[in-house]
Amino acid sequence: MTIGRKNCQETSALADVGLLLLRLGVGGSLFAHGAQKLFGWFGGGGLEKTGEAFEQMGFVPGDRNALLAGLGEAGSGALLVLGAATGAAGAGAVGTMTVAASVHAPQGYFATNGGYELPVSNALTSAALALTGPGRFSVDCATGGVLNRPWMRLAAFAASLSTAAALISQRQSRLRQGDSPAPS
């Protein structure tokens, strides 16, 4: 499906409202989590405390990884809310949430036990938005999809998932070597 003004008019108003609600929900949540890391908003630790926590989890250097995670979450979340560069934003969120899910995997699936339920839900919703498009009520629709071309989405998925795989691999290697304590 080609994203652009022409296709924006082909969907029903209810489908467009549904896509808007999905974007607001997952995008807003991602933005808030990123803002916790970057600025300490919403009860977060900010870059310093988040960086220390990332070091403890095996993401070295912690400050750089905290910055990248915060930017990935806040940036992709804000873009999803706006429906701007939706394919790339959704793909970026998938990569960020894949890394987050890997941290929570040892605790099992459910969030009540510290599991990966929330990152997986965010990743799947973000992937669905990246693949379906943002709907009529979006910046992408208003601009004819200039920042939401199919090749952009594919490139963003490739970059995001390869980066996630590298970060997960580096972390696992550090944890096996005993350079950083395992997460509590």
Rounded Cα distance between 173 and 66, Å, is 19
Q: What does each of the 184 residues of the chain score in pLDDT, given as a tens digit? A: 344 455 576 779 999 999 999 999 999 999 999 999 999 999 999 999 999 999 999 999 999 999 999 999 999 999 999 999 999 999 999 999 999 999 999 999 999 999 999 999 999 999 999 999 999 999 999 999 999 999 999 999 999 999 999 999 999 999 999 854 544 4
- Residue 61 sits at φ, ψ, to 5 deg, of -75, 140
Domain map (residue ranges) of the chain: 17-177
Q: Rounded to the nearest 10 degrees, how much is the dihedral formed by the CA atoms of 120, 121, 127, 128?
A: 150
Model confidence pTM above 0.75: yes
Size of the chain, expressed as the number of residues it contains: 184
Beta carbons within 10 angstroms of residue 45's beta carbon: 14
- Pull the structure tokens for residue 123: 């990743």
